[in-house]
Structure 1
């Protein structure tokens, strides 16, 4: 009987731990997908639209990135998420560089007009 109780206790702890881990993974998947959708939506805009609202875009990116990093840090194995996150972040960085270049060109044009 004692062996059965010990076995049941061990089984219960294993199930509980596994359940918690899968909840963390589900949350990480949701946050990762939200991050990727945000980057896709931003990069689909024209550079003129994005440049006009860039401070808002940048603030929201920082918020999404912070939430993503804190969620991913809770996981033991992040390999499944790293490739998706790195790809999306590279896409955002490239878009941000094009926006900054465009802003630089616009500033130069505005200075030459004066």
Structure 2
């Protein structure tokens, strides 16, 4: 009789153990599937759209991935699960790189456009600038810089310098189209003002960043 009771008890323990393993296996499959489906769904969206709320997408990704890994780690044999997670992770990182590249381009474009009343464009050819409006363009450009000079980082000043040089290239073309002496003199004064603003404030921004880095 005792042997029968021991057999029954052992059978129950084995059944519970198998049941527990099955539950863990099912949970791991479910969480890993949720993770891979999330990555698949995100990677189908155009990068123009995901750049708008990338932080929330990244936060959701990290949460779903962590849940998948935690469930997987409960298994004794998890090689297949790890392969699925690694594959989805690689796919996500490739997509993430494209999104961040796109977002950087958009931020750079918005930054450039903030100095003008027209879109600058990636090529910065300033084709909308002509002999009649170029003096006002310089005035608006440098006035915007002067107004916001304390907020620019060293990298911002480097970008501003590139914009300035591109505008100067356009000026060389406009001069040949009949730029008036009055506007030419006005622009010359603004160029001197820009040089002063750039030299002083870029140095200040660099010094500030160095101090913050040491702290």
TM-score normalized with structure 2 length: 0.50
Following superposition, the deviation at residue 75 of structure 1 comes to 1.7
| 1:3 counterpart residue number | 3
CA distance in 1, matches of 2:12, 2:28: 24
CA distance in 2, matches of 1:50, 1:75: 34
Give the root-mean-square deviation of aligned CA atoms. Answer: 1.3
| 1:61 counterpart residue number | 61
Uncovered stretches (5+) of structure 2, i.e. residues with no partner:
116-215
Which runs of structure 1 show a deviation greater than 6 angstroms over 4 or more consecutive aligned residues?
A: none
Deviations 1:31-67 (A, max 9, x none): 1111111111100000101111211111111111121
CA distance in 2, matches of 1:80, 1:26: 14
| 2:22 counterpart residue number | 22
Uncovered stretches (5+) of structure 1, i.e. residues with no partner:
none
2:31 aligned with 1:31, yes or no? Answer: yes
CA distance in 2, matches of 1:104, 1:49: 14
Select the structure with the greater relative contact order (CA < 8 A; seq sep ≥ 6): 1
| 2:105 counterpart residue number | 105
Following superposition, the deviation at residue 109 of structure 1 comes to 2.4
TM-score normalized with structure 1 length: 0.91
Deviations 1:73-112 (A, max 9, x none): 2222111211111111110010001111111222222333
Q: Secondary structure at the match of 1:76?
A: coil
Following superposition, the deviation at residue 28 of structure 1 comes to 0.8
Q: Secondary structure at the match of 2:23?
A: helix
Q: Secondary structure at the match of 1:53?
A: helix
**How many aligned positions are there?**
114
More helix by share: 1
CA distance in 2, matches of 1:85, 1:60: 15
